[in-house]
């Protein structure tokens, strides 16, 4: 969730770093910093807040002639957004920038502290630079010391290191966080995504997990576990807008594909060892709390409903969900033993913000689950959990919903731990399933192709019913909302068991039913609900791990051991269906008519 830029060459380095960081600022803007070594002289600058502050601080600084340089824009995970916690982190003669989380940093830190190393920051990153210098002091070869350092790191990282011990080189390593190397004329660039170097470098190499090395005199020396590695570069895109979409047709499509990756960010530092941790929450948040109320709008409301099933089932705490615009005017009865949770992607939704203010006036403790730090809702809440989905550009929310649902699942486990409502074995099973979520979210080419093909049958008809039970009811609501937002077709989400209480009157061959049929939750019940619809000639698209004979179309899912893995896998299917129908209808997927990304009016 941070951004990295590096440059080695003769051009003015400050501008290259700052311009590059500007492109990445959306990934984090708690603080930023740069470090340059030129003529054996080490210089560094850091500033809290937006990049603008760093620009102002470096106004009178210039770096001409050959040199090495690194820069970083931060989104705080370990330690508050302060100048000391900003990257680059400093040792005695080296600097490091890093994205990701070093999971074993506490162990490494203790080891270094026992050897009288002093730490200045609260970050996990600082261990990298001290580890390097410690090894260098024992074996004064910078690359050997860097290799030894990398071999000790556990977790996710993309890191760059510069040192006075080898002032003409940049050392790099990548595992789990993105990093690429760009090649220009007698110059080499590094970045955590390609937009900062477009228009500067012409060729690019995207580093793979486990790769590390250094660059010197215009040459990159690359290694992995098998030793030195040859690599081939490819031409770098020239169109920034296209590059931002990474070759996808729409931001929404890119964001659907990104979900597997961002889920790692959401879990990072929170799903550790045998427990769920939320470092950002004060220990007493749940003291004297007997119930939870969640308020949200739209997709965030659907995540809230999902959360209510999880909180009641796993944490055994009563949980009620309300649409924020309804809650505001119903004169709700509020008790101070209720924790008030708001969920919002943007953190600016007027109805949700107002609901939060009402709850606070009534003396309730508040927690927000949000994707945007420092947004109005985050600032107004007593405490906040950030979803870390990264910026979401498609108006139709996808990865925000996925990460909200994940945070709620983690929160349910967290509360269950606090209330001792879960036994150790069940907790382990939940965590094991949770760790598999990124895989369940991977989009398989065959699946996408299949949905593309069958979408042509779902362009007309007089309506769609997305049906599901239990956790899959909110998912049905969300599937229907996605479809109606971008295809402009009428779609409803319904609890499958309710169809016979009215809506089944609509059933005929022109009624499309998207049936969410998980194996792990009430399969037989939903099956008989779908049979009832099939008997009335409704057209059925069944999504399930179990083949279903009566389906007109069938999409087979694979995860059948945990409801949430089924949930996430089916969520991707419904998102792709909406996307493909909308594309076939020629709609603007990213900016559907009549909608806005952030609804700041009542
Ligand atoms: C989602 O696809 C929608 N565009 C919309 O329902 C959205 O979820 C809703 O407006 C709430 O927004 P928020 O999460 O930013 O508060």
| 602 inside domain | no
* Residues 411 and 450 reside in one and the same domain: no
Give me the phi and psi of 115, to 5 degrees please.
-105, 25
Q: Which of 2, 297, 319, 370 is catalytic?
A: 2
**pLDDT value, residue 27:** 62
Catalytic residue (one of 393, 519, 525, 597): 597
Per DSSP, 118 falls in state P
- Could you say which of 227, 244, 261 is where a domain stops? 244
Q: Is the pLDDT of residue 503 over 80?
A: yes
Q: Are 465 and 421 within one domain?
A: no
Query: For the residues 80-101, what does the mean pLDDT come to?
Result: 89
Indicate which CATH number applies to the domain containing 293.
3.40.50.10490
User: CA 482 to CA 494: how far, in whole Å?
Assistant: 14
For the domain that residue 88 is a member of, what is the CATH number? 3.60.20.10
Residue with tokens 């090894």: 135
Q: Tens digits of per-residue pLDDT, 506-536? A: 888 888 999 999 999 999 999 999 999 998 9
- Verify that 16 and 113 share a domain, yes or no: yes
The stretch 333-361 carries a mean pLDDT of: 95
Q: Cα of 394 to ligand 1 centre, how many Å?
A: 11
Q: What is the pLDDT of residues 396-430, one digit of tens each?
A: 999 999 999 999 999 999 999 999 999 999 999 99
Spatial CA neighbour of 578 closest among 570, 227, 230, 123: 570
Instruction: Look at residue 376 in the predicted model and tell me its pLDDT.
Output: 85
What DSSP letter does each residue of 292-350 carry, written as one string? Answer: EEEEE-HHHHHHHHHHHHHIIIII---EEEEEHHHHTTS-----TTEEEEEEESSS--H
307 to each of 336, 370, 418, 438, 513, how far by Cα in Å? 21, 14, 17, 19, 25
Range in 264-268, 327-331, 371-375, 462-466 the model is least confident about: 371-375
Pair 83, 71: CB distance under 8 Å: no
Whether residues 452 and 385 share a domain: the answer is no
Residue 479 lies in a domain: yes
Residue 509 lies in a domain: yes
Chain segment 298-317, per-residue pLDDT in tens = 999 999 999 999 999 999 99
What is the average per-residue pLDDT within 367-388?
Answer: 91
- 298 pocket-lining for ligand 1 (C-beta < 6 Å): yes
Q: What percent of the chain has pLDDT over 90?
A: 75
Is 568 inside a domain boundary? yes
Clarify whether residues 333 and 219 are in a common domain: no
Annotated active-site residue 597? The verdict is yes
Q: Of 201, 216, 244, which residue is a domain's last?
A: 244
Q: How far is the CA of 92 from the centre of ligand 1 (A)?
A: 48
Per-residue confidence (pLDDT) for residue 1, from 0 to 100: 58
| pLDDT confidence band for 241 (50 / 70 / 90) | low
Residue range(s) defining the domain that contains residue 14: 3-244
Of 334, 344, 385, 343, whose CA–CA distance to 364 is shortest?
Answer: 334
pLDDT at 390: 84
Q: Whose CA is nearest to atom 10 of ligand 1?
A: 298
Residue 409 lies in a domain: yes
Ligand 1 and 479: CB distance under 6 A: no
Residues 240 and 266 in one domain: no
Both tokens of 348, joined, read 């600016």
- Give the residue from 244, 271, 299 where a domain finishes: 244
What pLDDT score does 375 carry?
80
Clarify whether residues 398 and 296 are in a common domain: yes
Give residue 261's pLDDT.
87
Residue 76: predicted pLDDT: 66
pLDDT tops 70 at residue 28: no
pTM, two decimals, is: 0.75
Query: Quick one: 384 and 258 in the same domain?
Result: yes
The answer to the question of residue 166 being in a domain is: yes
Q: Check residue 243 and give its pLDDT.
A: 67
For ligand 1, atom 6, which residue shows the shortest CA distance?
298
Does residue 370 line the site of ligand 1, with CB under 6 A?
A: no
For residue 123, being part of any structural domain is answered with yes
Q: How confident is the model at residue 65 (pLDDT cuts 50, 70, 90)?
A: confident
Q: Indicate whether 257 and 308 sit together in one domain.
A: yes
Same domain membership, residue 277 and residue 413: yes
| Per-residue CA distances from 503 to 1, 353, 460, 465, 481 (Å) | 44, 34, 19, 9, 18
Q: How many domains does the chain have?
A: 3
357 and 341, same domain (yes or no): yes
Judge whether 594 lies within some domain: no
Note whether 279 and 406 are same-domain residues: yes
d(CA 183, CA 179): 14
């Amino acid at each position: 969730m941070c951004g990295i830029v590096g440059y080695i060459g003769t051009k003015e380095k400050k501008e290259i770093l700052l311009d590059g960081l500007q492109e990445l600022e959306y990934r984090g803007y708690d603080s930023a910093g740069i470090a340059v070594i030129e003529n054996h002289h080490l210089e560094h600058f850091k500033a809290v807040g937006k990049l603008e502050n760093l620009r102002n601080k470096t106004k009178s600084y210039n770096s001409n002639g050959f040199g090495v340089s690194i820069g970083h824009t931060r989104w705080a995970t370990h330690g508050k957004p302060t100048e000391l916690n900003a990257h680059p982190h400093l040792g005695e003669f080296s600097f490091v920038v890093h994205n990701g989380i070093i999971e074993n940093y506490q162990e490494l830190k203790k080891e270094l502290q026992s050897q009288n190393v002093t730490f200045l920051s609260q970050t996990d990153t600082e261990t990298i630079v001290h580890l390097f210098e410690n090894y260098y002091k024992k074996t004064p070869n910078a690359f050997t010391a860097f290799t030894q350092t990398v071999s000790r790191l556990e977790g996710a990282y993309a890191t760059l290191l510069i040192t006075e011990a080898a002032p003409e080189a940049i050392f790099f390593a990548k595992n789990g966080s993105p990093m690429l190397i760009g090649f220009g004329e007698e110059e080499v660039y590094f970045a955590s995504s390609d937009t900062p170097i477009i228009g500067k470098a012409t060729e690019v190499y995207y580093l793979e997990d486990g790769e590390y090395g250094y660059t010197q005199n215009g040459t990159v020396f690359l290694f992995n576990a098998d030793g030195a590695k040859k690599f081939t570069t490819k031409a770098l895109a020239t169109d920034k807008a296209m590059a931002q979409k990474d070759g996808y047709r729409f931001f929404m499509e890119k964001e659907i594909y990104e979900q597997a990756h961002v889920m790692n960010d959401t879990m990072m530092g929170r799903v550790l060892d045998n427990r769920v941790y939320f470092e950002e929450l004060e220990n007493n948040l749940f003291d004297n709390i007997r119930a939870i109320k969640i308020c949200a709008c739209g997709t965030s409301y659907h995540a809230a409903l999902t959360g209510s099933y999880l909180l009641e089932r796993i944490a055994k705490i009563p949980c009620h969900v309300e649409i924020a615009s309804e809650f505001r005017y119903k004169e709700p009865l509020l008790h101070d033993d209720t924790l008030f949770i708001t969920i919002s992607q943007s953190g600016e939704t007027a109805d949700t913000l107002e609901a939060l203010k009402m709850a606070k006036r009534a003396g309730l403790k508040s927690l927000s689950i949000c994707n945007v730090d420092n947004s109005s809702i985050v600032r107004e809440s007593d405490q906040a959990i950030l979803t870390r989905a990264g910026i979401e550009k498609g108006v139709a929310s996808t990865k925000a919903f996925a990460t909200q649902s994940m945070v709620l699942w983690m929160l349910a486990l967290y509360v269950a731990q606090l209330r001792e409502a879960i036994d150790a074995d069940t907790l382990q099973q939940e965590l094991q399933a949770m760790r598999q979520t990124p895989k369940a979210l991977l989009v398989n080419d065959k699946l996408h192709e299949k949905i593309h093909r069958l979408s042509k049958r779902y362009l007309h008809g007089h309506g769609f019913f997305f049906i599901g039970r239990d956790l899959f009811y909110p998912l049905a609501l969300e599937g229907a909302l996605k479809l109606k937002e971008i295809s402009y077709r009428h779609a409803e989400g319904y609890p499958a068991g309710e169809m016979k209480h009215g809506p089944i009157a609509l059933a005929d061959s022109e009624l499309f039913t998207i049936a969410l049929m998980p194996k792990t939750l009430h399969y037989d019940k939903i099956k008989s609900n779908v049979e009832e619809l099939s008997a009335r000639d409704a057209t059925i698209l069944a999504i399930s791990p179990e083949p279903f004979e009566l389906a007109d179309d069938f999409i087979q899912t694979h995860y059948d051991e945990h409801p949430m893995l089924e949930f996430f896998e089916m969520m991707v299917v419904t998102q792709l269906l909406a996307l493909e129908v909308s594309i076939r209808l020629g709609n603007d997927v990213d900016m559907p008519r009549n909608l806005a990304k952030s609804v700041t009016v009542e």
